[in-house]
Structure 1
Amino acid sequence: MSWPETAEEDAMNLAKQCLWPWALQRLTGLILVVGLAVHFWVLHFSIERPVTFDKVLERLRYPGWVLFDLFLLAAALYHGLNGLWAIIGDYAPSDLSRRVVGLVLWIVGIVTLLIGVHVLAGFA
């Protein structure tokens, strides 16, 4: 990869780097709106009362619901952590601090996703 020769090339490279996080932030936001509506409907309106652990366990025995919950968890993690990254990127005083915070956010995201996979896999 060569260094950009003009300010326009530099701006285009930056725009390309920022496009995917920006687009995925919007996509995961849409997924969260739809996914949380489905989640809310299923847990609050379609299960007879009272909601018990056994009823939740019965729903989570279906692999489709486990995948739905994992997908919702992944979307929420990406959306939340990418949002934090964007805010921190605006206020971090140095490149080193941004790198450290980025590493911490990656670790938090991966560990949380692995815990979610472990917990939900136990139900399937």
Structure 2
Amino acid sequence: MTRSLLVVEDDGLIRMDLADTLTDLGFEVAEAGNADEALIALGKNRQFAALLTDIDMPGSMNGIALAHYVASSYSDCQIMVISGRYHPAQGSLPQGAQFLLKPISQKALLEALGVAGLKP
């Protein structure tokens, strides 16, 4: 299984911190600042083991819409939706997606990766 993850976060500092943490855990990380950039990365035929996306982002779609797109187009990709501002309504995330509240501790991130079957 690939150990490549796609991190989608519009706040550069949060994205960099999350990417650095995941890299330190042994994952290959691609970064995108919004859903439009994420769609470009996905279109390059990369096989991502997981998508970690913020909810509130500028661009053509928010993180929940991106999560649904990825769930329907890349069925093997695990999905983690993150936010410090919003709590998704019951049933609004794709089946099997996880929600993580910001700020994300390394412990919470490790637990979510473990649930997704992605052990560092």
**TM-score of the aligned structures, taking structure 2 as reference length:** 0.26
More strand by percentage = 2
Q: Which has the higher contact order (CA 8 A, sep 6+)?
A: 1
Larger Rg computed on CA atoms:
1
More helix by percentage = 1
